[in-house]
């Protein structure tokens, strides 16, 4: 159920993605999760639907839509499979969007067509062992040697960095100092670059079908022209990308919360306990009602933030509110849905069990809940 502010075209897109999720994604989700495998044929079909190109101009191979449209697609996928949804979210927000926002004409022409078609993926290397929420503590370095950047350091938790169609990662690196402060820049490092190693994938609690790796750089050399955006503006540019990404994560979390609600309503209506339907019990009814309220509130929050972003208005605080609200909704709904399912909720073949594992990272990735609270407090002038 969508709020009043959705247009007919947007409703049609949401319906298209919902059908794709039910018919193509859902039947593959359990096996993909069990084997920790990203189904690239499903990613290819997402590309054919134009999902990776939704918020980009047609001149670059995009669909000419906006960020709201992208978030509708992410929410629709996350109902049935968070791993597939984060593959789209990261592929756009962290892969293609930095190139579109800050790349040179040559970089856009080289990379955007394939990224927007879903035939290539890219990662964004920000997080390090000693630089998570404190991204300014970056230790990875890049120095100029002639007309090449020489990169040394490591990154961790990098999504879409090791698939068979991963084209490159964009990394943040210290490229010097200005007035005693680190100068952080972003540099494109193609996969296969000597000295750049994609380490073995993580054994994660959730998002098992999402591709996630640590990365190491030991004297990795790339052309000077691989600098993405202005030198020294890498951290500031990333913060802008992160604000947008928080809206997308909020949409993903809303989809997860919706998926838990739908599954719980269906199960409670079919399950018989002591001769009566589980849904006939007032305690269960109240639990489902709270789940519905969480979905509604989360959806309103990300809708508002996305509309502000697309209108060119400030949205930093609203994005933080949306991510905080929606990630809480996803975790709470996953817990309640698992409780309603009882023992079956502990079995991975049931989607609510996977949502229970998957949803925790929503309170951590792309800014922890504590960081969101800090952003909101700053907007209030009290931090």
Active site residues: 366
Q: Please, is 58 exposed, middle or buried when counting C-beta atoms within 10 Å of its C-beta (0-12, 13-18, 19+)? A: exposed
| C-alpha–C-alpha distance, residues 7 and 228, integer Å | 36
**227 pairs with which residues across the strands?**
187
Helix (H) or strand (E) holding 121: strand 121-125
Interatomic CA distance for residues 331 and 73, integer angstroms: 21
Residue 73 · residue 65 · CB < 8 Å: no
- CA–CA distance, 52 with 116 (Å, rounded to integer): 5
Record the tokens describing residue 1, joined without a space: 């159920």
Q: Which residues of 260-271 are buried (b: 16+ CB within 10 A; e: fewer)?
A: bbbbbbebbeeb
Distance from C-alpha of 241 to C-alpha of 114, rounded to nearest angstrom: 20
Q: What burial class does residue 310 get, using C-beta atoms within 10 Å of its C-beta: 0-12 exposed, 13-18 middle, 19+ buried? A: middle
255 within 8 A of 78, measured Cβ to Cβ: yes
Q: Which of 280, 258, 246 is nearest to 374 (CA)?
A: 246
Rounded CA gap, 313 and 254, in Å? 23
Q: How far is CA 128 from the centre of its chain?
A: 18
């Amino acid at each position: 159920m969508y709020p009043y502010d959705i247009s007919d075209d947007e409703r049609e897109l949401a319906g298209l993605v919902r059908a794709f999720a039910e018919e193509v994604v859902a039947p593959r989700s359990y096996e993909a999760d069990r084997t920790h495998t990203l189904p690239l044929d499903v990613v290819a079909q997402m590309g054919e639907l134009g999902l990776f190109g939704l918020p980009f101009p047609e001149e670059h191979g995009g669909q000419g839509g906006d960020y709201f449209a992208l978030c509708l697609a992410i929410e629709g996928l996350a109902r049935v499979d968070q791993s597939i949804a984060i593959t789209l979210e990261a592929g756009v927000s962290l892969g293609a969007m930095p190139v579109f926002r800050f790349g040179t004409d040559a970089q856009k022409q080289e990379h955007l067509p394939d990224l927007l078609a879903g035939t290539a993926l890219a990662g964004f290397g920000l997080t390090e062992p000693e630089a998570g929420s404190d991204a300014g503590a970056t230790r990875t370095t890049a120095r100029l040697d002639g007309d090449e950047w020489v990169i040394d350091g490591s990154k961790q938790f990098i999504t879409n960095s090791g698939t068979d169609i991963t084209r490159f990662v964009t990394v943040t690196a210290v490229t010097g100092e200005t007035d005693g402060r680190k100068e952080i820049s972003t540099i494109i490092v193609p996969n296969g670059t000597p000295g750049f190693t994609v380490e073995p994938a993580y054994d994660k609690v959730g998002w098992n079908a999402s591709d996630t790796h640590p990365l190491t750089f030991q004297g990795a050399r790339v052309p000077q022209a691989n600098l993405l955006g202005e030198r020294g503006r890498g951290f500031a540019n990333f913060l802008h990308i992160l604000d947008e990404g928080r809206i997308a994560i909020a949409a993903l979390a809303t989809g997860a919360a919706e998926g838990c609600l739908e599954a719980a309503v269906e199960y409670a209506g079919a399950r018989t306990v002591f001769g009566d339907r589980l849904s006939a019990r007032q305690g269960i009814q109240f639990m489902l009602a709270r789940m519905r309220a969480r979905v509604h509130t989360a959806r309103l929050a990300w809708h508002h933030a996305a509309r502000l972003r697309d209108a060119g208005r400030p949205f930093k605080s609203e994005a933080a509110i949306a991510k905080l609200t929606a990630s809480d909704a996803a975790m709470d709904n996953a817990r309640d849905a698992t409780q309603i399912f009882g023992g079956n909720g502990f079995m991975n073949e049931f989607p609510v069990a996977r949502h229970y594992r998957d949803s925790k990272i929503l309170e951590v990735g792309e800014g922890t809940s504590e960081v969101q609270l800090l952003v909101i407090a700053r907007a209030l002038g009290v931090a």
